[in-house]
Each structure stands twice: as structure tokens, then as C-alpha cells.
Amino acid sequence: MENYIHIIGCLRGRKIVLGVSGGIAAYKAAALARELGRMGADVHVALTEAGARFVSALTFQALSGHRVWTSLWDGSAENGMPHIALGRGADAILVAPASADIIARLAHGRADDLLTALCLARDCPLFLAPAMNRQMWENPATQRNVATLRADGVIILGPDEGGQACGETGPGRMLEPGALCEALLAFFTPRLLAGRKVVVTAGPTFEAIDPVRGITNSSSGKMGYAIAAACARSGAETVLVSGPVALPAPAGVRRIEAASALRMRDEVLAVLPGADVFIAVAAVADYRPAQTAGHKLKKSGQPMRLELVPNPDILAEVAARPDAPFCVGFAAESQELDAYAENKRRAKRLPMLVGNLLADSVGGDDNTVVIYDDAGRHPLPRAPKALVARQIVEHLARLLPAG
């Protein structure tokens, strides 16, 4: 599971009822329960009779830290009504896996076991993660039921395509636990950037010396990717122009790969029209070799001189445009953060800049940053990059002129 989705705040303290119905994907529901708990959610599990044939109640009890509900006739619940007790105060119900059978029963408003009764009696959003054999999914009856549920406001997550436990290949695989967590997280994240377009740069650049060698730096891209993910979750149309990194594109983000500074600038300028915000997180090389050799350079045993020429400053160029979007810069310094960061902000005429000390951030999963704007300096507490990214988005949404 990617680190960027851990403990991001918007799921913290939410009561999530996880319904587990009968299907081989039920084994993934165990990882899902654990992941939701790690993100701070208060997870309660309702297990159907068929679901319990795949994974035991004890597993979910250990992972959620709460008793697991299996029967509509459990007299020990509040008022003797488990379907009411369990749903009370729930922020969402997520049925994962949702078998063809439970989808059919939900579409018809049945209440003949605990999970269906719970869904019928709910006053919170219902998410279903279908998981079944390809033919069962494609059957018109299932498609009809899914359309009915969608029309009723139920949110269908997936299914995915790919190899299935039955040996077939096609649609019907349950989405992975990480993708399901991400969907819930996005649902609960306030849409602070709805209707906005954001362009983000991230990662290092690679300035080629010859076809196999080049100048680069140790930027992991994690902060920029966390910012892009936070923008997308906040409802922005998000384009991420990325240098070479080993990270998957965040959900809902359009990624464009650009290895060198010159390429990154061209890609940024191409996607900039219509952008409301530009966030430059990339560690762009300040210089590139004056020439790139067409063939691999051979060693001669003699000293070698490499002539470097300055790269364009992408952020300064964008910020200086007459139609400039709201520009956010980053500054990583090894000392005197306040002075250097504020100088950079003024030199590039930025309304907002995020500064950090190199020792606090590079490559790691946590970061300690200070936000600089016209009102002064705003230090944020040390936190995982995903949470820092969320706070940066909240800050910029407050400064952004009304759209």
C-alpha cells in the first residue's frame, strides 16, 4: 500500500461499517479493515453467513478491535436490534466484496439478513465494491440491479478487470483495498478546489550527457505526488508533470512524464491554459550540459571538462506571465530557511512558497515545512507528506481568488 494514503485526516474518527458478503475476494476485506483502521477510521464489520465461509469473524474482530455482527437475531445488541445499533452514527457503509447475490437483494430492497437490513435502514452513503465471475457481472440481471442501485444514489466502486479466481479474465475483480480506501478518502475530503485546474511539477529532472549518462538529483517525487493527490481529492482537475520517479500516478491525476528541464517547461506551458494554480514542487536542475553527445562517450584517461548552461526557471517564467495562475513555489534549503525562502518568494513574485530544511525531508515519508505568504510565516507541525500536502492545499484554497 502506498504511504501517501496513510493517516490523512479526513477519515480519522469516521465510523465505517464494512459489510463482507460471500466471495473469494473476502480475504482482501481483511486487509481493507486493517487499512481503514490505520487511516484512523472506526471500523465495524457486518459479516454475512456466506462471507463467514471465507473469512472468520475472529479475523475481523482482531483487525477492527470490535465485535463482529453476523445475525439479525442477535439479542445482545442495543434494543435487541443489531441492524439499528450498527448503523447508528455510521458515516458510511462499504460492502466489499459485494457479491451478485447481495447486489440483487439490495436492488430489491430486501432485508432478509443483517447486512441487507442494515443497508435498508441506513441514513448514510452506501458504497459497493462488486466482486464476482465475469459472466455473473455481465449478466443483464446484474447490470440491471447495478443500474437500479446507482439510480438510488448507491456508489459503485469498480469492479476491476483482470485474472479471476475462477481462471477467467475480464471485469468482476474487486478493487484492491488501497483503491477502496482512496475512494472513501476522496469522498470525505472537502472539495476545496472543485472547478479549479491545477498543474503540479514533481520529481527530479535528468539532464542527459550522452545516451546513457546524465545529471540528476535525489528528489523522490513523494512531496509533489502527495500534493497532486491532495489536489485531486479536493476536486481539482489535476495535471502532474513529472520527472523520472518510481511512484505510481495518484488516483484521478493526469500524469505527463518529462525527463529534462526543457521538456518539463514545454509540457507545463502546453497544459497551462485554463489553469488556476501552478505548484512547482520539482527539483529542476539549474544547469544542463551544453551539448548532449549522440553516442556513448568513451573514456580517454584524461581529465574531462563538462560545460554547463543554465536551464530556464519554469516557475519564474510562469509567474511572470500576464495571465499567470496562482503560483506556489517550493524551497529546500540546508540553512537559514526563513531568509532564503522569503527571498525566493519575493524574487519570483510568488503569493505563496513552501520551505523546508533538506535534513527534514528528502526521500523520507514525513516532512516539516513552513508556509510563507504576504501575511508572514506559518509553520506546520511535522507530519506524513500526505497530511502536509492536505494542509498546503487548505492554505492555498484560502488564498486563492474567488473563481
Please list the active-site residues. 166
Q: Which stretch in 103-111, 208-216, 252-260, 278-286 sits in contact with ligand CTP by CB under 6 A? A: 278-286
Cβ neighbours of 104 (radius 10 Å): 17
**Which residue lies nearer to ligand CTP by CB, 133 or 201?**
201
CA atoms of 130 and 120, how far apart (whole Å): 18
Cβ neighbours of 135 (radius 10 Å): 13
**Which residue lies nearer to ligand CTP by CB, 193 or 284?**
284
- Contact string (CB under 6 A) for ligand CTP, positions 199-238, x = contact: --x-------------------------------------
User: How many CA atoms lie within 13 Å of 175's alpha carbon, on the beta-carbon side?
Assistant: 21
Q: Which stretch in 98-106, 126-134, 324-332, 380-388 sits in contact with ligand CTP by CB under 6 A? A: 324-332
**Which residue lies nearer to ligand CTP by CB, 57 or 316?**
316
Asked if 202 and 224 touch (Cβ cutoff 8 Å), the reply is yes
**Which residue lies nearer to ligand CTP by CB, 148 or 216?**
216
Kindly state the smallest distance separating residue 264's Cβ from ligand CTP, in Å: 8
Kindly state the smallest distance separating residue 233's Cβ from ligand CTP, in Å: 22
Kindly state the smallest distance separating residue 15's Cβ from ligand CTP, in Å: 40
Q: Which of 330, 384, 388, 392 binds ligand CTP (CB under 6 A)?
A: 330
Residue type for position 75? G
Query: Is residue 280 a contact residue for ligand CTP (CB under 6 A)?
Result: yes
List the one residue out of 241, 294, 246, 296 whose CA is nearest residue 271: 241
Q: Where are the beta strands (DSSP E) in 237-317?
A: 237-242, 253-257, 277-280, 287-289, 308-310
Q: Which stretch in 65-73, 99-107, 148-156, 313-321 sits in contact with ligand CTP by CB under 6 A? A: 313-321
Q: Which of 173, 344, 345, 385 binds ligand CTP (CB under 6 A)?
A: 344
Give the cell for residue 392. Answer: 498546503
The dihedral of CA 309, 312, 315, 316: what is its sign? positive
List the one residue out of 380, 387, 394, 392 whose CA is nearest residue 8: 387
Residue with cell 457479491: 99
Query: Is residue 261 a contact residue for ligand CTP (CB under 6 A)?
Result: yes
CA atoms of 389 and 198, how far apart (whole Å): 14
Number of residues that bind ligand CTP (CB under 6 A): 16
Residues that bind ligand CTP (CB under 6 A): 201, 261, 280-282, 284, 286, 311, 313-315, 329-332, 344
